[in-house]
Structure 1
Amino acid sequence: MARLLVIGGGIAGTAAALALHKAGQEVAVYEAHPDSAEDIGAFLTLASNGLRALAELDAAPAVTAAGFPLTTMRLLDAEGTEVARAPLGEADDPVLRYRCLRRGELGAALRSEAVGRGIGIVHGARLASVEDGPGGVTAHFTDGSTASGDLLLGADGLNSAVRRSIAPAARPRYAGQHVFYGYSSWAPAAGEDGTACITMIRGSAAAFGHTTSPRGETYWFARVTAEAPLTADETAHAAPTRWRDLLVPLLRRDTTPAADVVAATTGPVLVTNATEIPNGTPWRRGRTLLVGDAAHAASPATGQGASMALEDAVILAKCLRDAPDTESALSRYEALRRPRVEHNTTVSGNISRGVHAPAPGGRPAARPGDALARQLEWAAPLS
């Protein structure tokens, strides 16, 4: 049994720990933050591919207990005319049906599963450096403590400290949009799909999406093209109504429900920059490997970030389970994962930069011919 250290207790790290534990590995998670809060203001959709991975980790019930299902997507133009409508993913299968939930809810569900299975999660463990030697790898934390193992996984997100130890020259790259998230008390007419429909609006000044929860709360996002990213000072010190007041006039240019949804938002509006990790960034060195956003963060345009991280978890665990040694396992993992996730990064970045519009089918980005279902099937060997 190998001992694995996971740096980062978010979605990617906790899912990886669940998968590795299922594969019979000894695993511990080290999270820099002193508590479990994680982007509480943001929400996400888990696509069918992500839910398939969750099912293979025996974690689907815990996650689907939060949030609500989405079965249909419709697309409106700037005049509010419906131009397309399509099922989302594998909508006919309750286990694989898209799910909308807050990021914090997903993180909490995964952590609860991990703790219930006896996986240790250490909070307040901020990584200082990684020492890789012939007998193992050691994580040094800023409080002076250390942890040693056979393999270290960097699942510490976009600004990964582990990535800096592997590829210090690699930097996240701005993908051309500011992205806003909020929750509104005003819900547009649900239509025939009720609360299981997400509406995407191709507006003149912003790409906008909204869906209404069974409790009548409208979850919304807006992606606004901008030449330069927002600075940390701008996002940290904005007045409470700044982002709402910025968005509403932009959205009023169109005859869609978007402006009314945002105008009825009384709580905080979260804003972030669409950011990506450049394709080709190194993922591993010695006994250290990057997973999730630390390796392949994409702009949020395809909505695949969390689902890709869940895929990573299952396929990495299977590679380590089935390969004759760690080096061949990591080589196999990278060969399987890099083409798929980098395709997603490219597609998502192109959408954010306006190179082309997203297809209305709601399908996860994938290379033609990917045998993803078999790769994710726990009992199936990786061919």
Structure 2
Amino acid sequence: MPTSSRRVAIAGYGTAGQACAILLARDGWSVDVFEQAPATGPVGAGFLLQPVGLQVLWEMGLLDAALAHGRRIDRLYGDTPRGRAVMDMRYGGLDARLFGLGMQRGALFAMLDHAWPGRETIRLGHRIIAVSVDGRHVRDEQGREHGPYDLVIAADGSASRLRAVVGKARLDAPYPWGALWCLLDEGDWPHVNELRQRYRAARRMIGMLPVGTRPDDPVPRVSFFWSLRADRFGRWQDEGIATWRNEVVALWPEVAPHVGTIGDCAQLARARYRDVVLRDWHRGRLVLVGDAAHAMSPQLGQGVNMALLDALALRDALRTHGHIEAALAAYQHERRRHVRIYQFWSRWLTPLFQSERDVLAGLRDLAFAPMGRLPGSRGQMLHVLSGTRLGAFGRLRLPPAFLAELGKCASLG
């Protein structure tokens, strides 16, 4: 397509929308972003960037900025209140150069926002709900029409309104379990390079993930989360913060000094999740990215990573193919091959960690750690963790130049 005709509308300014705006603007596209919120900003506390997500930031020239604020994570460890190890995985078991990066949502948002020169033109308070039959115009909730566009990208999250325009989903259902989240001061937390979790059966899961700093806040933080059935949020609030805090400390005394700073239920954000599997990710000139295309449980911690990979794959497909429809078909083919295995494992692993199925949790406690020590099984689990699993047994290969760059970061704290 001639550069002069390339005009794209992006619905949503989360990670997927931000990355698409940056990458396509750099390729000469004229980008219009529509955001339903009255102001832009991050949603959520912290997350774990896997090597595949770091690779995308490296491709975008943003790896150094991420490393400047994130906290290197080398190990994921989870145990029971009695000290029985359930999970113990180290990136070094796959490649000594690999690691994860704990980051605050605010840090990633600010970094991506700063990288897109058009951020001042975002149309706030515009929720896009419809696309014209020819795919060239979009309509917002107030009935305003915008366009014409050559491409429309739906990056409007797990509750996407534009998903239905593409077609009927194979699966679109909320998970019964959600989570409470907040950021706490890192303070003297001893496990600064590890994601630590504590489980009581599958009914309780607590996590502490070091996530570093933000550009506007130099204090290192830890992202704390507590698993909870979504239909019990109200009961949890009614019982009061003191009752809940006592339960947390009873399960994990080590976190007492940190959760002691939580004095009100309002300090904890509530998160709900969906499981979405689509027949198609595009229709005409409309394409879905991020959670709009493949929302899943956060059990494998891949949401942000998949959103970044979607944006890069879409950019590459548009570069390679001369027609929009061919580019979108190529994008869907590439990304669905990768995402499918994560949707599968996320769906089947979630009941092992977030459910009331005590028998399954008991089997998990007995078998999960020993399986992770078996040579063949350990490699498979580490590929899933790092985001490099492709299909049942394939591998998503990371560029040698990127691995060499990570190798230089061995001393990152």
Fold-level match, TM-score > 0.5?
yes
| Matched letter for residue 167 of structure 2 | A
Tell me, in whole angstroms, the C-alpha distance in 1 between the residues paired with 2:291 and 2:331.
Answer: 16
* SS of residue matched to 1:140: strand
Which of 108, 111, 124 is the equivalent residue of 1:109?
A: 111
**TM-fit CA distance, 1:303:** 0.5
Residues 66 and 147 (structure 1 numbering): CA distance in 2 closer, same or farther, change over 3 Å? farther
Question: For the aligned residues, what is the CA RMSD?
Answer: 3.3
Show the counterpart of 1:298: 296
8 Å Cα contact 1:180-1:222 kept in structure 2: yes
Matched, 1:321 2:346: no
The one-letter code sitting in structure 2 at the alignment partner of 1:110 is: L
Report the Cα offset of residue 170 of structure 1: 7.1
Amino acid at match of 1:288: L
How many angstroms apart in 1 are the aligned matches of 2:139 and 2:328? 23
Q: Who is 2:176 aligned against? A: 176
CA distance in 2 between counterparts of 1:31 and 1:22 reads 21
- Structure 1 pair 186–142 and aligned structure 2 pair: CA distance change class (3 A): closer
Distance 1:299 1:376 in 2: 32
Q: Report the Cα offset of residue 36 of structure 1.
A: 0.9
Cα shift readout 1:68-111 (whole Å, capped 9, x = no counterpart): 22222222223134465432378854xx6422222233222211
Q: Map 1:189-204 onto structure 2 (within 5 A).
A: 190=190, 194-204=191-201
Which of 65, 78, 102 in structure 1 is aligned with 2:81? 78
Aligned CA distance change for structure 1 residues 84 and 157 (closer, same or farther; 3 Å)? closer
Q: Which residue pairs with 1:381 in the alignment? A: none
The residue number in structure 2 matching 1:308 is 306
* Counterpart in the other structure of 2:136: 137
Q: CA deviation at 1:301?
A: 0.5
Judged with a 3 Å threshold, the aligned counterparts in structure 2 of structure 1 residues 11 and 310 are, in CA distance, closer, same or farther, namely same
CA shift digits 1:234-264 (9 cap, x unpaired): 56x985x857456445546646535665444
> Aligned-pair distance for 1:197?
1.7
State the alpha-carbon separation in 1 of the partners of residues 236 and 206 from structure 2. Answer: 22
Which residue is equivalent to 1:5? 9
8 Å CA contact 2:14, 2:155 repeated in 1: yes
The unaligned stretches of length 5 or more in structure 2 are: 213-218, 353-359, 373-380, 403-413
What residue in structure 2 maps to residue 26 of structure 1?
30
Q: What is the distance in 1 between the residues matched to 2:25 and 2:339? A: 24
CA deviation after TM superposition for structure 1 residue 222, in Å: 2.1
Q: CA deviation at 1:123?
A: 2.0
Whether the 8 Å contact between 1:170 and 1:281 is mirrored in structure 2 is yes
State the Cα distance separating 1:288 from its structure 2 match.
Answer: 0.6
Report 1:1-383 matches (<5 A).
Answer: 1=3, 2-39=6-43, 41-82=44-85, 85-88=88-91, 93=97, 97-115=99-117, 120-133=121-134, 137-143=136-142, 144-167=144-167, 172-184=172-184, 190=190, 194-204=191-201, 205-212=203-210, 215=219, 217-224=221-228, 226=229, 229-230=230-231, 239=237, 244-245=241-242, 247-248=244-245, 250-251=247-248, 254=251, 257=254, 261-266=258-263, 268-277=267-276, 279-354=277-352, 361=382, 362-364=385-387, 366-367=389-390, 368-373=393-398
Q: Which runs of 5 or more structure 1 residues have no equivalent in the other structure?
A: 378-383
Aligned-pair identity in percent equals 23
- How far has the Cα of 1:209 moved from its partner? 1.5
Query: Structure 1 pair 107/349, CA: closer, same or farther in 2 (3 Å)?
Result: same
Whether the 8 Å CA contact 1:243–1:269 is kept in 2: the answer is no
Change (3 A) 1:250 1:121: same
Secondary structure, counterpart of 1:79 in structure 2: coil
Q: Distance in 1 between matches of 2:189 and 2:128?
A: 48
Matched-pair contact (CA < 8 Å) for 2:154–2:289: yes
Q: Is contact 1:275–1:299 with CA below 8 Å preserved after alignment?
A: yes
Q: Which residue of 1 aligns with 2:356?
A: none
Check 1:327–1:61 CA distance in 2 against 1; reply closer, same or farther (3 A cut).
Answer: same
Aligned length: 360
Asked if the contact 1:28/1:119 (under 8 Å) is kept, the reply is: no
What CA distance in whole angstroms lies between the structure 2 residues aligned with 1:3 and 1:16? 13
Aligned partners of 1:146, 1:376: CA distance in 2, in Å? 42
TM-score of the aligned structures, taking structure 1 as reference length: 0.81
Q: CA deviation at 1:168?
A: 6.0
> 1 CA distance for matches of 2:243 and 2:174?
21
Q: Secondary structure at the match of 1:311?
A: helix
TM-aligned CA deviation for residue 183 of structure 1? 3.1
